[in-house]
Amino acid sequence: MTNYNIGYIVGSLSTGSINRTLSQALIKLAPDNLQFTEISIKDLPLYNYDFDASYPPEGTAFKTAVEASDGLLIISPEYNRSIPGALKNAIDWGSRPWGTNSFARKPTGIIGASPGAIGTAVMQSSMRSVLSFLDAPQLNSPEGYIAFKPEIFDAEGNVSDSGTADFLGHYMSEFGAFVARVLDANAEGHIGDAEPVQAP
């Protein structure tokens, strides 16, 4: 079985984020052929295109980490019915400078946890629009809108509820299979090389 290096991004900067807890659960329940490295977003300055002529090391390091990953997993909360600012800022860094979109043809999964029953659904919808514009193929099914219950998840990523553990394990298995399909298609030339058109 082929091994894949998965970069994961937690969309919250909080050390106590429930989505960071969810990320640990997903890693524990993932197939053995997926190896995970966190791609940090906390040190990125606010993006503006004045940086494009001379990218700062934080932006270059982020782009390098994205490009080195076989696939990306984004685990994020929803802020004010949209993408958290720090996560959107990271996406903007990764898409620039013009002609160096690091997300192009990168198989990507989006999942998130919230105390509410439909948590992160609007964020995920917004993120899908952004990633589609950036030519990043996305796992469309299963979708993962996790109603976070602290009694089910511990800090080490153990999940005590069998139904939740089964779903998260299934999600990660499907994500691994999706990464393999997209990389195979990329290698065979079935996915184009279009760059997104972005305003300066």
Task: Answer yes or no: is 121 within a domain.
Answer: yes
Task: Answer yes or no: is 160 within a domain.
Answer: yes
**Position 92 pLDDT exceeds 90:** yes
Q: What is the pTM of this model?
A: 0.92
pLDDT tens-digit readout, 122-181: 999 999 999 999 999 999 999 999 999 999 999 888 999 999 999 999 999 999 999 999
Task: Answer yes or no: is 155 within a domain.
Answer: yes
Residues 42/152/170/133 CA torsion (nearest 10 deg):
-30
pLDDT of res. 118? 81
Task: Answer yes or no: is 130 within a domain.
Answer: yes
**Position 195 pLDDT exceeds 60:** no
118 or 65, which is more confident:
65
pLDDT tens-digit readout, 25-42: 999 999 999 999 999 999
Task: Answer yes or no: is 198 within a domain.
Answer: no
For residue 96, which of 43, 53, 42 has the smallest C-alpha distance?
A: 53
At 197, is the pLDDT very low, low, confident or very high (cuts 50, 70, 90)?
very low
Task: Answer yes or no: is 128 within a domain.
Answer: yes
Task: Answer yes or no: is 197 within a domain.
Answer: no
pLDDT of res. 18? 96
Count of domains in the chain? 1
Task: Answer yes or no: is 116 within a domain.
Answer: yes
**Position 83 pLDDT exceeds 70:** yes
CATH number for the domain spanning 22: value is 3.40.50.360
**Position 90 pLDDT exceeds 70:** yes
Domain containing 39 equals 4-188
Non-local CB neighbours of 144 within 8 Å, separated by 6+ positions: 110, 111, 112, 167, 168, 171
At 190, is the pLDDT very low, low, confident or very high (cuts 50, 70, 90)?
low
Non-local CB neighbours of 80 within 8 Å, separated by 6+ positions: none
pLDDT tens-digit readout, 41-77: 999 999 999 999 999 999 999 999 999 999 999 999 9
Contact 148, 113 (CB under 8 A): yes
